[in-house]
Amino acid sequence: MSDMDTDTSVTFEKILVATDFSPVADVATGYAVALARRFSSEVELVNAIDLSIVASSFDVLSGPALDAIRRSSAEGLNLVAEAVLEVKVTGKTLEGFAPAALLLEETSASKASLIVIGTSSKRRVAKIVLGSTAEEIIRSALCPVMTVGPHVSKPPDIPLPIRNIVYAADSSPEAKEASRYAFAIARESGGRLYLCHVLTGKEVSNEESLKATWVKSLQKLIPETSLDGCKREYIVDHGKASEVILSLANRVNADLIVLGARRASFWLTYVETGLTPALLAEARCPVLSVSSITPA
């Protein structure tokens, strides 16, 4: 199958959103609901009780303490679900010693086609570190993961407006798989798609020639079925991938960033070898990370 024949149809029949009822999680839930309104999806709201934290807080997993946490979780899920209109929302409490594993197992069991999760971040020296649960989900999920960072504002209570999409492209299988989602979302929403490739330091010596080559490569990514319904621009620049992509996203007021996520090299610097957590933590819009093994 050639790039021009690639099927770009995608559906989000069920969206699983992980919540701990924090402000960041509330924004992530808002995006899950707004996306569900646009794609006529169901939403499963999941709260994972980390028993290791419960045990350290109460010395032992005492019955009354754990029951109180369970009741609080159920009440929180019900309050969120009751406040949502026009979208079917179900709530579920999970409990165990590995929250990321619990959420991934539930994603598989419920056949969710998208995970939405809020991400916090901390700086350690010059490195951005995401929450461990978010890191593990992005690394291991078999479906796309939408991360909503601490700088993202809550969306309006309407079908999610997606006017501008930044798609980070390279030659990896993951990026090619991500292109399917970028094109489909742009076509469905009528938004403008910015196809961006970042040249590494080693490539700068032949920058002008490489820019022309990459523009042609990006043009070939657009399937024939998307040409009429997808407004697009091609951008090739050089520098640190996360900084270039964030700068572009801010400049065009992007509503979504789409990228391919490599498991083995996710934390490295350049697009060709993976993106840094800084992009996920500092983006002002949600980031959709797609793996090459996402089911068709």
For residues 177 and 165, give the distance between their C-alpha atoms in angstroms, rounded to a whole number.
16
| Domain that residue 141 falls in | 14-148
Phi, psi of 264 (to 5 degrees): -70, -30
Same-domain check for residues 36 and 106: yes
Same-domain check for residues 118 and 88: yes
Note whether residue 1 is domain-resident: no
DSSP H or E run through 102: helix 99-110
Q: Which of 92, 119, 148 is the last residue of a domain?
A: 148
Residue 48 maps to which CATH number? 3.40.50.620
Number of domains composing the chain: 2
Residues 6+ apart with CB under 8 A from 99: 48, 50, 133
Same-domain check for residues 46 and 81: yes
Determine how many CB atoms are found less than 10 A away from the CB of residue 51: 16
Same-domain check for residues 143 and 21: yes
In the numeric block, which tokens belong to residue 290?
Answer: 């797609």
DSSP state of 174: H
**pLDDT at residue number 126:** 42
Determine how many CB atoms are found less than 10 A away from the CB of residue 153: 10
DSSP H or E run through 130: strand 127-130
For residues 159 and 150, give the distance between their C-alpha atoms in angstroms, rounded to a whole number.
22
HEC per residue, 240-276? CHHHHHHHHHHHCCCCEEEEECCCCCCCCCCHHHCCC
DSSP state of 153: P
**pLDDT at residue number 237:** 87
pLDDT by 10s per residue, the chain, length 296: 334 444 556 789 999 999 999 898 999 999 999 999 999 999 999 999 888 776 665 555 567 778 888 999 999 999 999 999 889 999 999 998 888 899 999 999 999 999 999 987 654 444 444 567 887 888 888 899 999 998 999 998 888 999 999 999 887 788 888 888 998 898 888 889 999 888 876 655 666 777 777 778 777 776 655 556 678 888 888 888 888 999 999 999 999 999 887 655 444 333 334 455 778 888 999 999 987 655 54
Name the residue with tokens 């196809």: 195
**pLDDT at residue number 135:** 77
Note whether residue 89 is domain-resident: yes
Note whether residue 207 is domain-resident: yes
Same-domain check for residues 171 and 143: no
Note whether residue 4 is domain-resident: no
Note whether residue 9 is domain-resident: no
Same-domain check for residues 144 and 122: yes
Q: Which of 97, 116, 148 is the last residue of a domain?
A: 148
